[in-house]
Each structure stands twice: as C-alpha cells, then as structure tokens.
C-alpha cells in the first residue's frame, strides 16, 4: 500500500476542497485516515470532513463522511475502509453527501480528495487542526 496525503496537517478556519490526488489507477482497497490533533474552540463550532473520488479528476463523487467534530472535541483518529470485497447489494445515490459517519465502500475512482466544512458558532474563533491520508 502507498500513502497518499489528501490534506496535510494544518490548522484550518474555513471550509475548502483539497486538490485531487491520483491514487494509482483503481485500487482494490483503501484505508482512509482522519487525524484531528486539535479542536480548541467553542462546543458549537463544527468540523465535517469528507473524502470524494473521481474517475477523471473533474466530476467528484462523495464516498466517506467522518463523524462530525465539535469545536471542543478531543483529539481523535478515525478510519474508513473502501473495499471491492464489499461492493454492496443495491444502488448508491451519490448526488449528495453521505450521512455523518457513513462510508460508501462500493464507489471507486482513480482520483481522491479531502473536503471539509467548518462552521463557527458566531464569535469567529473556529479552528481545527487535522490531516487526511489514504493508504491504497
């Protein structure tokens, strides 16, 4: 397995989409790792981190949505597994984001990116330090 950095560790105060990363064709299995090292703000501030895939680096399909992190949440590491061994038995609607904590293991693409949304509770101090890596 090779390591692909989808979002390098950094303190972030606004939402964004990371740059698409070529993950070596269509890998059979990928381990997605979210590492939150600091969320030292208000309980009402939130962080939502997603991973998207794309067959061409242009049209993105949401495949994983890690559990929402509160602004005063503890450091944590979460994983999501994409595996062709678990392709699913029904269609998957991919026009909207997966629910928080959900993974769509049957959706694949040769590009991946991290995407995140940060909501501030009103006092303008929301900040979360995190990274996202894929091991494929």
Q: What pLDDT, on a 0 to 100 scale, did the predictor assign at position 89?
A: 44
3-state secondary structure of 88: coil
Q: What pLDDT, on a 0 to 100 scale, did the predictor assign at position 36?
A: 95
- Stretch among 23-27, 36-40, 87-91, 123-127 having the lowest mean pLDDT: 87-91
What average pLDDT does range 118-136 have in this prediction?
92
pLDDT above 90: residue 16: yes
113 token code pair = 């990116």
Q: What is the DSSP letter of 115?
A: E
Q: What pLDDT, on a 0 to 100 scale, did the predictor assign at position 115?
A: 97
Residues 6+ apart with CB under 8 A from 70: 39, 43, 44, 45, 46
Query: Could you count the other beta carbons within 10 Å of the beta carbon of residue 72?
Result: 12
Residues 6+ apart with CB under 8 A from 35: 9, 76, 77, 130, 131, 132, 133
pTM: 0.87
Express each pLDDT in 47-102 by its tens digit.
Answer: 999 999 998 999 998 888 898 999 999 999 998 888 777 655 443 555 567 777 67
pLDDT above 80: residue 17: yes
Range of the domain at 29: 3-135
pLDDT above 90: residue 14: yes
Paired sense of beta strands 102-103 and 61-65, if any: antiparallel
What average pLDDT does range 13-20 have in this prediction?
96
User: What are the start-end ranges of the H helices in the chain?
Assistant: none
Q: How many domains does the chain have?
A: 1
Q: What is the CATH number of the domain that holds 130?
A: 2.60.120.1110
What average pLDDT does range 33-49 have in this prediction?
92
Express each pLDDT in 103-120 by its tens digit.
Answer: 766 667 889 999 999 999
In the chain the first and final C-alpha atoms are separated, in Å, by 5
Contact 111, 27 (CB under 8 A): no
């Amino acid at each position: 397995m090779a390591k692909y950095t989808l979002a390098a560790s950094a303190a972030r105060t606004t939402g964004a989409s990371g740059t698409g990363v070529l993950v070596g064709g269509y890998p059979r299995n990928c381990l997605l790792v979210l590492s939150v090292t600091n969320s030292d703000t208000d309980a009402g501030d939130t962080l939502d981190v997603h991973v998207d895939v794309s067959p061409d680096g242009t049209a993105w399909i949401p495949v994983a949505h890690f559990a929402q992190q509160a602004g005063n949440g503890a450091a944590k590491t979460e994983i999501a597994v994409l595996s062709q061994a678990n392709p699913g038995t029904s269609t998957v609607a991919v026009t909207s984001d997966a629910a928080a904590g959900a993974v769509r293991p049957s959706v694949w693409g040769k590009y991946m990116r991290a995407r995140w949304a940060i909501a501030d509770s009103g006092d303008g101090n929301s900040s979360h330090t995190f990274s996202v890596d894929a091991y494929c």
